[in-house]
Amino acid sequence: MKTKKVTIHTLDSMKKRGEKITMLTAYDATFAQLLDESQIDLLLVGDSLGMVVQGHETTLPVTLEDIIYHCRAVARGTQRAHIVGDMPFMSYQSSIQEAMANAGRLVKEGGAHSVKLEGGAQHADLVAQLVSAGIPVMGHIGLTPQSVHTMGGFKVQGRGDGEAEQLLQDALTLQEAGAYSLVLEGIPSVIAKTISETLDIPTIGIGAGPDCDGQVLVIYDLLGMNDSFKPRFVRRYEHLATRIRTAVDAYAADVKNGAFPSEQESFFMDKAQRPKSANASVSAIALAGGCGPGPLSEVSPEASPNVSEAPFSVESSMYSTVHKPKP
């Protein structure tokens, strides 16, 4: 199992030896930890969260504060993977000075290791200045979702006259400006193959065929969490939408018919502690500090034979989570 932190130099070495690079989106600490433990190389805190988390039709409403918030969460769940923070719409297009400040916030406040921005040669000067300031930059060309209105929708790019040549020129210009990697989205695979073979920096494809140096998917798409979203470029490795509904239906049924919680999922007091009247019950509960962790958490398994371990322990309490976030 790999334990060494992934850096931009790691990715460069992977391209040179022909090892494929894996990238997935992550928006919270729990998913970040799971993906990190699965040895995913890059975690993208993408503005796709606007669609899959916030419920918007496009990525355009996502703010810099949104990305910073989710970057912080992902950083707390990550030990090994390289974290890429997306530059949201209008966080870098107005001026180089504003873009520099916003990218700095993603790294300084959000904990991102690098930033990603959409667009080609028009952003070369910005890329160069960011890299000069110590902020690694991942480029993104082809289908750029922040330009959805300009493109007339989420459409495959590179099929028109001169578009393939322009994509290659954009890729070369961004590489020369100092970008360490490049996302190729929604372009014919033959163009992606040419770009990947021409560039020295690694390419990460999404809807760009098998010949890129790596691949990225939105984690919710990979897990099949939206039955109605079935783009050609997505392979579903699970069908969690169905499994989640099944689990929730079972939970709701158990609550309705009284099957949950059972004795095994309840807490008890020994006979000496049991109140003898209604007033005494109120006093006992008050002294116990209510229903949260407190004196009740000191009840031993021996005093409560149906409880396998002390209630509200770190690993098993209702207040614990799958991950153990960093301080």
**Tens digits of per-residue pLDDT, 104-114?**
999 999 999 99
Higher pLDDT among residues 314 and 40, named by residue = 40
CATH code linked to domain 8-222 = 3.20.20.60
d(C-alpha 298, C-alpha 213), whole Å: 55
d(C-alpha 187, C-alpha 194), whole Å: 11
Amino acid found at 51: M
Two structure tokens written together for 100: 């520099």
Tens-place pLDDT, residues 209-247: 999 999 999 999 999 999 999 899 999 999 999 999 999
d(C-alpha 58, C-alpha 49), whole Å: 10
The pLDDT value given to residue 281 = 56
Higher pLDDT among residues 270 and 86, named by residue = 86
Cβ neighbour number for residue 104 with a 10 Å cutoff: 15
Tens-place pLDDT, residues 28-54: 999 999 999 999 999 999 999 999 999
User: Is 109 annotated in the active site?
Assistant: no
> CB under 8 Å to 291, separation ≥6 — which residues?
285
Are residues 192 and 158 in contact, defined by beta-carbon separation less than 8 angstroms?
Answer: no
* Residue 287 backbone class (left: φ over 0; alpha: ψ -120 to 50; beta: rest): alpha
Q: Which residue has 């984690």 as its token pair?
A: 219
Enumerate the domain spans of the chain.
Answer: 8-222, 262-327
Two structure tokens written together for 114: 């690098």
Closest by CA to 48, choosing from 32, 61, 31, is 61
Query: If pLDDT is split at 50, 70 and 90, which confidence band does 273 have?
Result: confident
Catalytic residue, candidates 176, 185, 263, 265: 185
> CB under 8 Å to 300, separation ≥6 — which residues?
310
Q: What percent of the chain has pLDDT over 90?
A: 81
Mean pLDDT of the chain: 89
> CB under 8 Å to 32, separation ≥6 — which residues?
26, 43, 73, 74, 75, 76, 77, 78, 81, 323
Helix ranges, the chain (H): 8-16, 29-37, 49-52, 64-76, 96-108, 124-132, 148-151, 163-177, 189-198, 219-222, 240-256, 278-287
| pTM to 2 decimal places | 0.85
d(C-alpha 27, C-alpha 4), whole Å: 22
pLDDT at 189 over 90: yes
